[in-house]
Structure 1
Amino acid sequence: MASPIDIQLILCDAAVSDPSGKVHMLGAGWSITGAPTAPHAVAVLLGIPWDRANIRIPLKLELCDDDGRPVEIEAADGNAAKLFHQGGIEVGRPAGLAPGTMLDAAFSLSIPPLPLKPGRYQWRFEISDQIVTRSFTARPGQATPPIRQT
């Protein structure tokens, strides 16, 4: 059995990945938003075990309801579609790295405004045989109260 992957999902207002493998985030760590949602991003930070280096590992990120069922979004043409990203990741071992060292991998996915109804949702990330979720609540109107200056 392969070693488990260390997985972190972070919801943020915006995120970009750079070529060095870092993710730059703005407004990270929220769990309450408006309905419909504003544009946002999901940052995925991975620690790939030494024994899983140089192997392509399948992954999938999908928007689900609170019960884990895929959410269908109505498209402009009137058809319903599930919102997901599917692919794979392969991390190589740099020369001279000590055996057993965890290898960093990261990416971010930008999400456009979504016409979600108020309720509880989750981003579900599946990689190989592991599943991690990050839940959020969509409320009617503004996500958080405005900041008052005193």
Structure 2
Amino acid sequence: MESIGFDDGLRVNVMLADYAQVADGKLNVIGGGWSVTGPEPSPFAIAGLFEVPWHLADQLHTFRFELIDMDGTAVMCRTPDGMQEVFFEGSFELGHPEDAKPGSVQRVPFALNGGMLPLEPGTHYEWRLSVDGGVHDGWRLPFATRAREE
């Protein structure tokens, strides 16, 4: 799991997996930690934990994972509505639990499960994360697709 620090104290631990779910406030991951997939389309998940410091708990936070190719171009996928960018987005907001003390950190688990993406074999991609509209070089989750055997 890669830990990525945000400028204002927010952090995220994130990984690619075969499947993930959040249940009872815990993150359950199956087949986690891969960085190579394919060449055939297969299901996948982005799983992780946002670590939210005390001073950011009473704010709405938005996030977006966008799939890009190595040229930095958004990956497009055919849908019933035509070609669309491949992304996940969401938001979360925390209060302060009664027993929490100033300076404490709360963890917000997330599991984003995707379907069978038809990605080009023998290519490199990355999921780029933005939080609250900000993007930084370190907020990337790179992976590759295997080449087809001839």
Which TM-score applies when normalising by structure 1?
0.84
Aligned counterpart in structure 2 of residue 91 of structure 1, from 86, 89, 94: 94
2:125 is matched by which residue type in structure 1?
Answer: Y
Q: 1:49 to 1:141 in 2, by over 3 A?
A: same
- Answer yes or no: is the 8 Å Cα contact 1:45–1:106 preserved in 2: yes
- Residue correspondences, number: 139
Between the aligned partners of 2:13 and 2:66, the Cα distance in structure 1 is 15
Report if aligned partners of 1:123, 1:134 keep a CA contact under 8 Å in 2: yes
For 2:146, the aligned partner's letter is R
Q: CA deviation at 1:93?
A: 1.4
| Structure of higher RCO (CA pairs closer than 8 Å, 6+ residues apart) | 1
Identity of aligned residues (%): 30
Bigger Rg, which one: 1
Q: Which has the higher strand share?
A: 2
**Is 1:62 aligned to 2:66, yes or no?**
yes
TM-superposed CA distance for 1:89, in Å, is 1.0
| Unaligned segments of structure 2, at least 5 residues | 1-6
What is the deviation of 1:141? 4.5
Distance in 2 (CA, whole Å) between partners of 1:85 and 1:67 is 20
The residue aligned with 1:5 is 10
Secondary structure of the 1:140 match is coil
Q: Which residue of structure 2 lines up, in the alignment, with residue 30 of structure 1?
A: 34
- The 1:44/1:110 distance shift into structure 2, 3 A limit, reads same
* Inter-CA distance 99–130: structure 2 relative to 1 (3 Å threshold): farther
Unaligned runs of 5+ in 1: 143-150
| In 2, Cα distance between equivalents of 1:140 and 1:74 | 22
| Counterpart pick for 1:113 among 116, 136, 139 | 116
Contact 1:66 1:135 (8 Å CA) reproduced: no
The RMSD of aligned alpha carbons is 1.8
Comparing 62-71 and 119-128, the one that deviates more: 62-71
Following TM superposition, by how much is the alpha carbon of 1:36 offset from its aligned partner in structure 2, in angstroms?
3.2
Q: Is 1:17 the equivalent of 2:22?
A: yes
Q: 1:76 to 1:35 in 2, by over 3 A?
A: farther
Measure the CA separation in 1 of the matches of 2:58 and 2:114.
29
Confirm or deny: 8 A CA contact 1:57 1:89 kept in the other structure. yes
2:105 corresponds to which residue? 102
